[in-house]
Amino acid sequence: MNESLIVNDSSAAPGAGEGLTWPEVDSPKQNSSLEFSTAPLDFPINPWDIMLCLSGTVIACENAIVVAIIFYTPTLRTPMFVLIGSLATADLLAGMGLILNFVFQYVVSSETISLITVGFLVASFTASISSLLAITVDRYFSLYNALTYFSEKTLQYVHLMLVGTWGVSLFLGLLPVLGWNCLEEPTTCSIVRPLTRSNLTLLAVSFFCIFVLMLTLYFKICKIVCHHAHQIALQQHFFTTSHYVATKKGVSTLAIILGTFGASWLPFAIYCLVGERHYPAIYTYATLLPATYNSMINPIIYAYRNAEIQRSIYMLLCGCFQANGVYRSRSPSEV
């Protein structure tokens, strides 16, 4: 049986060398949904799978650079960069998972490998989303406890968040492999085979909880930023243009971060709750593909815009990287 991570239908899966038939518009008897066929096709590879594989390739390349830069730069060891490294690692694994899913789907026919690939992707994307939450928490504490942020206690909190993030992600990724799947009972399948409907609902609800927490924390961050700007204005007896621009830029950055995250994942999370296994597979593809774009945008928002990482890349490319270079890393509130 040749299985796909995201293509699910009430029919049987196509055999080796077979693929999805695309509905013909001119045929009145053709169903509007994507159906599996037992006949060989002129184009046996699903174009949506190609796009997911290409997305995974870009994601892996982008985040591999970030991981390498943070790993080989001794000065990038502050809590902020540790969390950015965790996010880049999770997105790197997610990109590799999308590539492996494409390869195993069309080359290797194995239910065991299919389960492992699905579990790997679940763990990777869960770690990515959880790392975003950890970065949000870190940004909040860097403003709320600005005087004590650069301390050993903060680093301990960051390590605890990392242990929790990857521990929960690994647990959720192992659930399909350990038996919580629909291979034995196809009627319990969700829009993402071989995950069960209850398993996918758990993941979707978890996402909504994380999204609400991030929304709440960024709202509090916005209030703190505006309050700090107001306090500075009172001390200087007027609100300068530079303060206004800085405050507006900070609020705009928070809006971009939340908007990007929500626009990427909300459609797929909502469809996970309302979608049924017999729905056209194209709906699953159309909502999952934008979700992968979040892992493509993350390194741009959290890494490549950072001055220290830009400097490290520049020095590395110019061949003038100095391991003993010392400079103070900015706090997350300044990013």
Query: Which tokens in the block code for residue 87?
Result: 């996010």
* Cα–Cα distance for residue pair 207/262, rounded to 1 Å: 10
Q: Is 330 helix (H, G, I), strand (E, B) or coil?
A: coil
Q: How confident is the model at residue 234 (pLDDT cuts 50, 70, 90)?
A: low
Between these two residues, 277 and 30, which has the higher pLDDT value? 277
Average pLDDT over residues 171-178: 93
* Cα–Cα distance for residue pair 110/28, rounded to 1 Å: 36
Query: Which tokens in the block code for residue 19?
Result: 């693929």
Asked whether 262 and 271 are in contact (CB, 8 A), the reply is: no
Among the residues of 150-240, which ranges form H helices? 152-177, 197-236
Please state, for a pLDDT cut of 90, what percent of the chain lies above it.
Answer: 44
Asked whether 127 and 169 are in contact (CB, 8 A), the reply is: yes
Task: Check pLDDT > 60 for residue 142.
Answer: yes
Query: Which tokens in the block code for residue 83?
Result: 């969390």
Q: Which of 219, 221, 251, 245 is nearest to 233 (CA)?
A: 245
Average pLDDT over residues 65-72: 91
Query: Which tokens in the block code for residue 179?
Result: 């038996």
Instruction: Note the maximum CA span of the chain.
Output: 78
